Amino acid sequence: MDDATLARFEAHRRAWADNDALRLLYGRWYGRVRQALPAEGPFVELGSGPGFARAFIPEMMLTDRVAAPWHDRQVDAQALPFEAGSVGALVLFDVLHHLPAPARFFSEAARVLRPGGRIVTCEPYVSPLSYPVYRFLHEEGLAMKVDPWAEGSSTRDPFESNQALPTLLLAGGARALTARFPMFRLLEMERLAGPSYPASGGFSRRPLLPMPLWRALLAVEDRLPAASFRLIGFRLFAVLERQ
C-alpha cells in the first residue's frame, strides 16, 4: 500500500510541474492558509502528500501517514505525536475528507493545539455545480447521506475518501462540530473556486482550456460576489480556533 501511495505522490508532483493553472490555484489557496496562521508556531501540515506546501510556507513542518523523502516526519492525523498544548496550527489541505475517523482527529487537535492555536483547512465543497463533477467525474468517492462522525476502517487505503465530509462537517454541520468540541470556535468559512478549478484539469489531465481563456475565466470568477460560490463553488476554506 505504501509503495502505491508513494507512486501516486510522484505522479501528482509530475502533474503539478506540468500544469500552470493548477500551480496558480494552489498558490492562491496556500496564500490563504498562510494568512490564517496564528502568530506563534510551530505549524504542522498533516497529509502533506506530494509536498506542495514547501513552495509557499517553507517554515511549515510537512508530515504524512506514508513517509516520503520531502516530509519532515511520519504522522497519523488521528494519533498526533505532539505534546499537549505544543502546536500553533494544524493545516489540512485535501486531507479532512480522507480521514476514516474525523472525531479522533478533532480530539487530538484539541489536545495538541495551544489556546489560540488553529486548524486551517482547504477541502472539496459540494455545491449544486460541483456535485455532479465530484460524484461522476472524480476518482474519489462522494456520499452525502452518511454520518460524518461514524468511524471507518483505520487500515484502508490512505487515498480512500468521501469528498462530502468537509461540507457535512463544516459548511452544513459546523454547529454540530462546535457542540461536540466546544473548545473550538469557527473563525472563518468561505466557499471558493468556480468552474476554473475543474477547467484546470486537476492532477489527472491537462487544462481543459488554453491558458489565456482559462485566465479569463478565473478573472470573471474573481468579480463574482461571494454568495455565488454557494451555487458554483468547488472548494471550502475554513479556520477553527482553539479556545
| DSSP annotation of 97 | G
Answer with the residue of higher pLDDT: 68 or 138: 68
CA gap 102, 154 in Å, rounded: 11
The alpha carbons of the chain give a radius of gyration, in whole angstroms, of 17
- The whole-angstrom separation of Cα 100 and Cα 65 is 13
Q: What is the DSSP letter of 228?
A: G
- Number of separate domains in the chain: 1
pTM above 0.75, yes or no: yes
Q: What is the mean pLDDT of residues 131-151?
A: 92
Q: What is the reported pLDDT for 138?
A: 86
Range of the domain at 139: 2-242
pLDDT at 155: 56
Contacts for 88 with CB less than 8 Å, ≥ 6 apart: 37, 38, 40, 41, 42, 43, 113, 114, 117, 118
Confidence bin at 205 (pLDDT 50/70/90):
confident
| CA neighbor of 194 nearest in space, from 150, 224, 168 | 224
Domain CATH number, residue 89: 3.40.50.150
Band (pLDDT 50/70/90 cuts) for residue 74 is: very high
pLDDT band at 153 (very low <50, low <70, confident <90, very high): low
pLDDT above 90 for 229: yes
Over range 9-28, report the average pLDDT: 95
Q: Please state the rounded mean pLDDT for residues 45-51.
A: 97
**Three-state SS for 137?**
helix
